[in-house]
Chains A and B, each alone.
Chain A
Amino acid sequence: MARLEPSPDEARAARLLRAQEIAWRLAPFVSVGLLIAAWEIVARSGTVTPYLLPSVGTVLARIWDDAVAGDLWINMILTLFRAFAGFAIAAIIGVAVGFAMARSRIANWFFDPLISVGFPMPKIAFLPVIILWLGTFDISKISMVVFETTFPVVTGTLVGIAGVERELIWSARNMGASEREVLRQVVLPAALPQIMTGLQVALPLALIVAVVSEMVMGGYGLGGAMMTAYRFANSAGVFAGIVEIAAVGWVVVKLMALVRRRLLLWHPEALEPSTV
């Protein structure tokens, strides 16, 4: 049977569609490119001083210098260490408190009002108190991160545990699982998506708080380096800091999304396209 040749009109329509598809694919590069071009054009046009907006080249050169001198890596590692140390402690405390509240009525009675009042509070206001108590060392920056990020982990854990189907727990008990086994093998995995959501709220907060603490306390770290550059009116250094911190934030958040997908491969949500 002879194959039907597409009419010229159909072929043109198909070509047009393919061209459109390619155009949509290219759009991300176009918009990021436009942003960088606009930055460079405004910086070079002389409508603003280089202090207000240094050119892209100056900022990249500054980042390169920092990288070669090694400052960039020291600062980055310090900021990441503070953010992640605080985040890890908050994750452990948050999940533990969430489980304790789900298990014990007394724990629930004690923590519930503290969490519901503490969650919406801007904990960062306590930063001077923390400095007063612990000084301006790593410990105070990490404590600030812990204080700010524990709350979303607790609420995520609570929501997760509350959403576990009763039937799952009953059938596990029926089959002779101990309380411990039920918690570890049924409740924890079933609550994991919500716990991960809580952690995903906490992680960007950890970075924000680490950077702010460094800005207030000074010293090394990406936030501290930015404030030093700002005090010396070195605006290329300030813009370099923004680019560096943005890059760190982007990588960290993407990695967290990957971890989530890996941990929840078994969960139906892994089938849906992820928005992150």
Chain B
Amino acid sequence: MKSALIRYTPIAIMALAWELIAQLGLVSSSALPPLSKVVIAWVDLLRSGDLFAASAASLYRGASGLALAIAIGAVLGIAMAWWRPANALLGPLVEMFYPMPKSALIPVTVIWLGFGDGSKILLIFLGCMLPVTIGAFNGARGSERVLVWSARSMGASRLRMLWDVVVPSAMPELLNGVRTALALSFILLVSSELIVARQGLGYLIGYLGADGNYESMFAVVLTVAFLGFAADRLYMLLMGRVLAWRD
């Protein structure tokens, strides 16, 4: 308890510095509203239900896009490691599109699916799939030869082996790929909502900023930052559970 207190003091110092700089008027209060006012604005947003509605819209988009990306990305990656023609055909495409800055897809997903949920889900799906694919591919390809051989010598069928040997050994790298995808999904979600949307946390930030309501804008920005942080921590916790069988 005490060590945690010491550990997180620097964050408290930053918060205090923020409050002092704003209160002492070192910068104009429209550029940096005091933290205490931001907290009050946050409570107001929470009470009015705006923050909740925006978070629900954003999290729905993020979760759907990410779920699609994980399901399809993992299947593609394992297929590429397991079956050479799949690798020969998909490998070059993965290599071509992996380095692409995925934010370039924001306008085109809007052209295809409009301002609503669909375009954001498609964007997150397309943007987050390849890190999962590459993680699954590297993991599955690295499954230990000895394990594969011994499973085969014990008469396991090809399909059985895929499920019992290849998928579990692909797991650690696959889950790392998912973590990268999780971080990317937040970046793409917020950017696409900032640029073209009528709902969601990114839209709310842009709307409040344009309105000059900076206290509320800071409150939503901090909320997004916290959600991203919490999602990552939660995921790490889950990942530890899933991988508990490894020594």
Using a CB–CB cutoff of 8 Å, the interface residues on chain A facing chain B are: 24, 27-32, 34-35, 51-52, 109-114, 117, 120-129, 131-133, 148, 204-205, 207-212, 215-216, 222-223, 226-227, 229-230, 235, 238-239, 241-242, 245-246, 248-250, 252-254, 275
Instruction: Indicate whether B237 reaches chain A with its CB closer than 8 angstroms.
Output: no
**Contacts A122-B187, A246-B96 given; 19 further ones with Cβ under 8 A?**
A24-B84, A27-B88, A32-B93, A112-B10, A117-B11, A120-B231, A120-B233, A128-B217, A132-B214, A207-B101, A208-B101, A208-B102, A215-B106, A223-B103, A230-B107, A235-B111, A246-B101, A250-B100, A252-B99
- Given the contacts A109-B10, A127-B194, A250-B96, A122 and B205 also touching, CB distance less than 8 Å: no
Using a CB–CB cutoff of 8 Å, the interface residues on chain B facing chain A are: 6-11, 14, 30-31, 84-85, 88-93, 96-108, 110-112, 138, 183, 186-187, 189-191, 194-195, 201-202, 205-206, 209, 214, 217-218, 221, 224-226, 228-229, 231-233
A254–B107 touching, CB < 8 Å: no
Give complex CA distance A229, B96 in Å: 24
- Given the contacts A121-B228, A227-B107, A113 and B7 also touching, CB distance less than 8 Å: yes
B107–A216 touching, CB < 8 Å: no
Please, which residues of chain A bring their CB within 8 A of the CB of B30? 132
Closest A residue, CB atoms, query B186 = A122
Q: Which of A24, A122, A235, A241 contacts B104, CB < 8 Å?
A: A241
B111–A249 touching, CB < 8 Å: no
Q: How would you classify the secondary structure of chain B's contact residues: helix, strand, loop or mixed?
A: helix
- Given the contacts A52-B111, A121-B229, A122-B190, A132 and B209 also touching, CB distance less than 8 Å: yes
Min CB–CB distance B160 → chain A (angstroms):
27
User: What's the A-B contact tally at a CB cutoff of 8 Å?
Assistant: 167
Q: Which of A223, A248, A275 contacts B138, CB < 8 Å?
A: A275
List 6 A–B pairs whose Cβ atoms lie within 8 Å, in order of A's numbering. A27-B85, A125-B205, A208-B187, A216-B194, A238-B111, A246-B96
Q: Which of A51, A124, A230, A245 contacts B187, CB < 8 Å?
A: A124
Min CB–CB distance A95 → chain B (angstroms):
20
B99–A117 touching, CB < 8 Å: no
- Given the contacts A122-B190, A124-B191, A216-B195, A226 and B107 also touching, CB distance less than 8 Å: yes
Give complex CA distance A112, B189 in Å: 27
Min CB–CB distance A184 → chain B (angstroms):
28
Min CB–CB distance B190 → chain A (angstroms):
5
